[in-house]
Amino acid sequence: MPLEERKLEVLRAIIEDFISSNEPVGSKALAERHHLGVSPATIRNDMAALEDAGYLIQPHTSAGRIPTTKGYRFFVDRLAQLRPLSGAERRAIHAFLEGAVDLDDVLRRTVRLLAQLTHQVAVVQYPSLSRSTVCHLEVVRLTPARLMLVLITDAGRVEQRVVEMPDEVSEDVVSELRATLNTRLRDQRLAEAPDIVSDLPDTVPPRLRPVVTMLTGILLETLIEHPEERVVLGGTANLTRSALDFPNTIRPVLEALEEQVVLLRLLGEVHSPSKVQVRIGDENTFEALRSTSVVSIGYGSGETALGGLGVLGPTRMDYPSTITAVSAVARYVGQLLAGS
């Protein structure tokens, strides 16, 4: 049975009220605060219908209603009207990200910004290595038998690996290595590089072969096959703001947030930079996060996302504002990284 107009209006009103008050909302209060043009009794009937349809529940008999996951989902998908970004917010975004000096700095500022705009916990993933292209590969001779491989990607990410060599390596060899590696790998996407990299030892002069084999081994193993994905977390203090929402649940949430794996999975399924993804309450994969909602999006220029970012908060978060903020920040970060 389709829900007619007014019922939807009632649902929206309930969700909005509940989000701002965090208390079960009753028919009388609803009739007073929103001019729906009908009496509380009528609203009660609608509420009963909405409850039957699974959009609302009553915590206990003599209380008002609160939205269910299904209710929030419907709200987000069909009822919520995106709130445009205020001028102040726009300015805040610019001001915050303006002065960043390097990638680390950009991401640290981003996470802070997100936390501040949304009053939630914020998560930002480093630009994924595998989806980046090689900008430069540097070979540094720390000592005669110890080389450092420095990989710089187009997104500004810098990874280094120390490689202990069995024999000493001369400075000439290092220069040659540097040249060879760069010619072959520059502008290649790392995801497509494994073939090129594993062929490398066979295509270089024999005297370079042992060294190249070592280096490509490290390259393949730690940067291509098992690239280290990283995330930045911030605004955990905001969890306590909603302490009332998950009384004894802060603990597991904080614990989950300390697990890189969890955070990565949270953002890892994000692919398109164009569409915000909202996972509400028990739609989340992780047990500990069943009492929270996650709003995430990819960032990056073009079609494929370099990484994901998002926020996590109580299911009763202000979805319209949050969605607006998250996507605005993602867009801006995308531009920033493309431009630098």
> Taking CB under 7 A as the rule, does residue 51 contact DNA?
yes
Please say which residue, 36 or 92, places its beta carbon nearer to DNA.
36
State the minimum distance, in angstroms, from the CB of residue 241 to its own copies. Answer: 8
> Taking CB under 8 A as the rule, does residue 245 contact its own copies?
no
State the minimum distance, in angstroms, from the CB of residue 97 to its own copies. Answer: 16
> Taking CB under 7 A as the rule, does residue 67 contact DNA?
no
Site for its own copies in 206-235 (CB under 8 A): 222, 234-235
Q: Which residues contact 82 (CB under 8 A, 6 or more apart)?
A: 320, 323, 324
> Taking CB under 7 A as the rule, does residue 71 contact DNA?
no
Please say which residue, 25 or 266, places its beta carbon nearer to DNA.
25
Structure tokens, 20: 């701002």
Please say which residue, 5 or 202, places its beta carbon nearer to DNA.
5
Beta bridge partners of 133: 189
Please say which residue, 48 or 233, places its beta carbon nearer to its own copies.
233
299 with 336: CB under 8 angstroms?
no
Please say which residue, 88 or 101, places its beta carbon nearer to its own copies.
101
SS3 274: coil
Look up residue 145 and give its DSSP letter.
T
User: How many CA atoms within 13 Å lie on the side-chain side of 310?
Assistant: 28
Name the segment binding its own copies (CB under 8 A); options: 38-46, 85-93, 160-168, 201-209.
160-168
Beta bridge partners of 123: 233, 310
Distance set, CA 98 to CA 105, 172, 312 (Å) = 11, 42, 25
SS3 4: coil
State the minimum distance, in angstroms, from the CB of residue 248 to DNA. Answer: 16
Among 57, 152, 165, 220, binds its own copies (CB under 8 A): 152
Structure tokens, 278: 């909202």
Name the segment binding DNA (CB under 7 A); options: 55-63, 73-81, 206-214, 228-236.
55-63
50 with 30: CB under 8 angstroms?
no
How many CB atoms sit inside 10 A of residue 41's CB? 10
263 with 231: CB under 8 angstroms?
yes
> Taking CB under 7 A as the rule, does residue 245 contact DNA?
no
Site string for DNA, 1-30 (x = CB under 7 A): -----x-----------------xxxxxx-
Binding site residues, DNA, CB under 7 A? 6, 24-29, 37-42, 44-45, 47-48, 51, 58, 60-65
